[in-house]
Structure 1
Amino acid sequence: MRRRIISLTVLAALVSTVLFALPLGIAATRYYRDDSTTELERAADTVALAVSHALDAGLAPEVPPPGDEDDDADLEVGVYSRDGRLLAGHGPAAAGPIERQAASATVDVVTGSEGDDLVLAVPVLSGSQVTGVVRAAMPQSTLTVRIALTLHGMALLAAAAIGASWLLARRYTKRLVQPLEELAAAAGRLGDGDFSVRSPRAGIPEIDQVGETLDATAARIGETLERERAFSAEASHQLRTPLTGLRLQLEAALETPAADPYAAIRAGIASADRLERTIEDLLALSRERRGQRAELNLGRLLDELRQAGEALLGPQGRSLRILLEDPPPTHAAAAAVRQVLGVLLDNAATHGRGAVTVLARDAGDALAIDVADEGPDLGETDPFATTPRGHGIGLRLARGLAEAEGGRLRLSRPDPPTFTLLLPAAPA
């Protein structure tokens, strides 16, 4: 990329220089041609004025110096008679076509080339009579050298401009490309799994905007992966509830060989169904985004909870009571509420004692579902904190699911232990 930017910059400078230098070179060439013609005409007019009296009197003319000897060292001036003989000065012995055309007195000035010389001829007049011709000549090489020197100087300036463009392009390309290279390196580290990478700021708004977007993307991906890892770790704990119920049912069937085996098989199949539903719920919750929810079918949900509770608490000789006190309708994902209540039921079965009571009631602007057991006083213990034994993992997941539905899960009373799930009531 560096080479491409430098090449394009130098190419742009070269094209600009050529487009500027071409008409300037043509103008300089025309200027030197016109200047040489003016110089010849000035020298010829000066000599014509000086020799006009001598030619009119029939005397031999004397040609004065054409001017500054340094400036006009290559300038030759000669005086010719009407018949084409060289009378004075420098030039060919016989007049050429340019001089003869000037002697015809049809034009005031005649210019042209004779051999390697640029020639200008003017007639010397006495009244309307031509008494002679003044010829001024300059080598074509003199004009060529002047034009070549000018073009050479222009070429040097063009080379200097292109060189300066190359140096500036290298300097600013480094400033432009280096942030892009650092941005590419940051993107590579992000692709390798380093979500803590942050791109440096270059002071160029467009590049900084890309860097900020990349930083935000890295932060979002890191948070998403962290949330998914935490969700996976916590969801694995959630699968223990139906597995525990299934194990207890099978152990109870083994301890009572005289019992009907078909009842144990049916209970095992029911527990396997609940396990499959739990897996489907967790997969659905891990993929779905918060959106418009349908009204929660609380009766059906509590019936499912009753079946799960009987399978989980029955082998322990414990009972489950479900009470309704005019609960208001609410909009929430059934999978999320089912998992929250499942966590609370599993927590009561594992850490609590006695009967478990589930009470659905009206809490003003919210639906409150209380899950209580007859276990010991929790005191100042934080049940949502994760302990080395894993206590609190499921409760923390349940609280996250409740908050995702716009609700809350809290320990409403430590004695007897009572957890309350609050969900916003549906508007009337």
Structure 2
Amino acid sequence: MRRRLINSTLAVVLFVITVFSVSLVVVETQAIERNAHESAQSDAGRIVAVVEARIAAGESVTAEAMRSAVPSDRYVSIQLPGQGAFALGDKPDDGVIEAAETGSHGERVTVQQSRSVVTDEVGRILVIVLAVGLITVAIAVLLAVGQARKVSAPLTDLAETAERLGSGDPRPRHRRYGVPELDRVADVLAASAERIGRMLTAERRLAADASHQLRTPLTALSMRLEEIIETADSEPETVKEEATVALAQVERLTDVVERLLTNSRDRRSDSAITFDLDEVVLQQVEEWRAAYRSSGRAVVHSGRPGLQAVGTPGAVATVLATLMENALMHGDGTVALRTRIAGNQVVVEVSDEGPGVAPELGSRVFERTVSGRNSTGLGLAVARDLAEADGGRLELLQQHPPVFALFLSGEAEEPAG
């Protein structure tokens, strides 16, 4: 491409220079020849005036007398009436430029000049035009090379950017090239890179969230299956009860997968309902009771009954499961779930008797990759996202002992009677 740009630029420059030079030489040649004729005519008129003046003064008109009035580079022939003609100067051998003038006494003066004077002058013009043309071509070459580099280098760079995007490197470069069209292409590629980067980030975040959200129900499900295995020789009612709980875990796991695949966080208005908060809380207490019992700890539930919350039951259950799993892994002592009302919101508090959140973490405990105890740092971040997607919020009310609170829109049921 660079070569084509240089060749096309030089072709245009050479064409322009050729047309201009030919026109200039033709015009200058005509002007030089016209000036030569006018100069010869002027000399003829001047010499005729000198001859008339000498005749009027009664002086003789001879070659010696007229030599001082004739230019050395001219050939002059003077013919007097009733006398012979005489000539001054050397007669040109090649082509001549001739002018003649007749005086009032009948004298005739003829001036001739060699055409080589015109030829020499035209030659000098040609040399000047050729030199200017060569200088112009040289400058045009430099400009063409610079312009070709200015155009081709950005295109090469844009091609490399597009190749990087295709290979999975979405980092935008935001380069400017000083050419509006190329800058527009660069802007489009940068915007595409940013969109691809956001898409890749969303995909990685979805994968991380999926792995974390699926881990909690799978852990609870495996615990229930272990309970079923341990109680296989017990009463059928016990096995049936454990199997029912395990089936509920499977349904919850299915709900989590569907939410992840359909990105239901952005569709809260389609899935938010009014539900019994106690039912979700008690479900989590029952699901996690066996795990806490195995660790020699207990789970208790207290607070105001009959609270109605607005949101997605599956999302609320996932948030509470995350808090209870964190309390099991990082906390100590009894875990307490307490429901209450705060203004026009219902609140579920989860607390334990462990050391709590490190002072240097504070509210940063909800940030992704922030963890105080060798975990992924995703659990609380995902839980907060789920809570906000349901129109609520998840907060750390107290660091030691730890108290986490899930705030949801809702109301309390009016007491019967």
Q: Could you tell me which of 382, 389, 394 is aligned with 2:379?
A: 394
Q: Offset of 1:32 from its aligned partner?
A: 0.5
Change (3 A) 1:300 1:30: farther
Aligned runs of 1:44-63 on 2, under 5 Å? 44-51=44-51, 62=63
- Tell me the distance in 2 between the aligned counterparts of 1:61 and 1:166: 64
Aligned runs of 1:11-160 on 2, under 5 Å? 11=11, 13-14=13-14, 17-18=17-18, 20-21=20-21, 23-51=23-51, 62=63, 64=67, 67-69=70-72, 73=73, 75-79=74-78, 87-89=85-87, 116-126=95-105, 131-160=106-135
Alignment partner, residue 105 of structure 1: none
Change (3 A) 1:304 1:8: farther
Q: Offset of 1:418 from its aligned partner?
A: 3.3
Residues 1:259 and 2:236 aligned together:
yes
Between the two proteins, the alignment pairs up a number of residues equal to: 388
Change (3 A) 1:338 1:267: closer
158-167 vs 381-390, which moves further: 381-390
- Tell me the distance in 1 between the aligned counterparts of 2:190 and 2:377: 33
Change (3 A) 1:391 1:9: closer
Is the 1:78–1:86 Cα contact (8 Å) retained in structure 2?
Answer: no
Alignment partner, residue 412 of structure 1: 397
Root mean square deviation, CA, Å: 5.1
- Tell me the distance in 2 between the aligned counterparts of 1:16 and 1:137: 39
- Tell me the distance in 2 between the aligned counterparts of 1:49 and 1:298: 126
Q: Offset of 1:53 from its aligned partner?
A: 7.7
Aligned runs of 1:174-185 on 2, under 5 Å? none
- Tell me the distance in 2 between the aligned counterparts of 1:262 and 1:173: 81
Residues 1:378 and 2:378 aligned together:
no
SS of match in other structure, 1:378: coil
Is the 1:117–1:139 Cα contact (8 Å) retained in structure 2?
Answer: yes
- Tell me the distance in 1 between the aligned counterparts of 2:328 and 2:103: 136
Q: Offset of 1:239 from its aligned partner?
A: 0.4
- Tell me the distance in 2 between the aligned counterparts of 1:282 and 1:324: 31
Q: Residues 44-99 of structure 1: CA distance to partner in whole angstroms, max 9, x if unpaired? A: 22333344589999x98646467443xxx3x433345899x9833279x9xxxxxx
Alignment partner, residue 319 of structure 2: 340
Query: Structure 2, unaligned stretches of length 5 or more?
Result: 294-298, 411-417
Amino acid at match of 1:236: S
Q: Offset of 1:411 from its aligned partner?
A: 2.6
- Tell me the distance in 1 between the aligned counterparts of 2:5 and 2:71: 54
48-57 vs 35-44, which moves further: 48-57
Amino acid at match of 1:276: T
Change (3 A) 1:391 1:168: closer
SS of match in other structure, 2:117: helix
399-408 vs 246-255, which moves further: 399-408
- Tell me the distance in 2 between the aligned counterparts of 1:277 and 1:86: 134
Q: Offset of 1:28 from its aligned partner?
A: 1.7
**Identity over aligned residues, as a percent?**
26
Query: TM-score under structure 2 normalisation?
Result: 0.68
Is the 2:275–2:313 Cα contact (8 Å) retained in structure 1?
Answer: no
Is the 1:412–1:418 Cα contact (8 Å) retained in structure 2?
Answer: yes
Is the 1:253–1:259 Cα contact (8 Å) retained in structure 2?
Answer: no
Q: Could you tell me which of 224, 235, 248 is aligned with 2:210?
A: 235
Is the 2:275–2:308 Cα contact (8 Å) retained in structure 1?
Answer: no
Change (3 A) 1:13 1:302: farther
Is the 1:328–1:362 Cα contact (8 Å) retained in structure 2?
Answer: no
Query: Structure 1, unaligned stretches of length 5 or more?
Result: 94-114
- Tell me the distance in 2 between the aligned counterparts of 1:176 and 1:413: 62
Query: TM-score under structure 1 normalisation?
Result: 0.66
SS of match in other structure, 1:239: helix
192-201 vs 334-343, which moves further: 192-201
Residues 1:357 and 2:356 aligned together:
no
Q: Could you tell me which of 360, 369, 386 is aligned with 2:347?
A: 369
Change (3 A) 1:403 1:155: farther
Is the 1:80–1:134 Cα contact (8 Å) retained in structure 2?
Answer: yes
